[in-house]
Structure 1
Amino acid sequence: LKCLMLTSCVAAFGKAVHALSRVGDELWLDPKVKGLALRSVNSAHSAYACFLFSPLFFKNYNLRPATEHGAETVKCKLAMKCVLPLFRCLNSIERNVEQCQISVGSPDDQVMIQFFCRHGRKH
């Protein structure tokens, strides 16, 4: 998966991550043809929450060609303590971030979240 969000979408995505952090300590990224699902479940498995971001939410949403032909999609489990700080300052994101790119399932089986800021800075 490779998807690109603009400023206003990054803020909404960050709010979803914050909401899911109240449910559980893990964030599941589940890229699908219907969109990117963010999921969380608490440790007792008694509470569950999911946000599904349609491909129309993103400026660019691209699944790998193999997934479009029926192959298994990649599901990623991330520690919330690693993801949450990236979206902690939503006011700063709205002022400084122009785009955010999320890549899942790159050659090293990693998740990469890149923020492209004003004045050409990348974080």
Structure 2
Amino acid sequence: MKCVLEGNGVKVFGKAIQALSRVGEELWLDPTVKGLALRSVNSAHSAYTCFLFSPLFFGHYSLGSGSEQGSETIKCKLIMRYVLPLFRCLTSIERNVERCQISISTPSDRVIIQFFCRHGR
């Protein structure tokens, strides 16, 4: 899965992650044909929140090759305390961030979040 957020979309995406951090300690990324779902549930399983970002929200959105989409669905669990600082610092540098690229690689089980800034800063 690969998606690219541009402009204000990076800020909106970051605000959604910040809201999910108030609910639970884990962030689930579920890429589907309908879009990218961000989910969180609290430890008692009494509260659940989901944000679904349509493919139209992204500058580019693809699930990957046919072999990756095959019979397995990609579900990725991240620890919130490692993801939240990436998007929390955006408020101070949001003027310089032009786009954000998120990639999920199923063979290597990696999530890569890259920020691209103006003038390479």
The two structures have a TM-score, normalised by structure 2, of 0.93
Consecutive unaligned residues of structure 1, counting only runs of 5 or more, are none
* Partner amino acid, structure 2, of 1:24: G
- Counterpart Cα distance in 1 of 2:111 and 2:93: 20
Structure 2 match to 1:65: 65
- Counterpart Cα distance in 1 of 2:50 and 2:28: 9
- Counterpart Cα distance in 2 of 1:32 and 1:93: 30
- Report how many residues are paired: 121
Sort the Cα spacing of 1:69 and 1:48 in 2 relative to 1 into closer, same or farther, 3 A.
closer
Shift of 1:120: 2.0
Q: What is the aligned-residue identity percentage? A: 71
Structure 2 match to 1:2: 2
- Counterpart Cα distance in 2 of 1:112 and 1:69: 18
Greater CA drift, 85-94 or 2-11: 85-94
Structure 2 match to 1:23: 23
Q: Is the CA contact (8 Å cut-off) linking 1:2 and 1:101 kept in structure 2? A: yes
- Counterpart Cα distance in 2 of 1:91 and 1:26: 22
Sort the Cα spacing of 1:68 and 1:74 in 2 relative to 1 into closer, same or farther, 3 A.
closer
Moved over 3 A (4+): 67-70
Q: Is the CA contact (8 Å cut-off) linking 1:33 and 1:68 kept in structure 2? A: no
Sort the Cα spacing of 1:74 and 1:97 in 2 relative to 1 into closer, same or farther, 3 A.
same
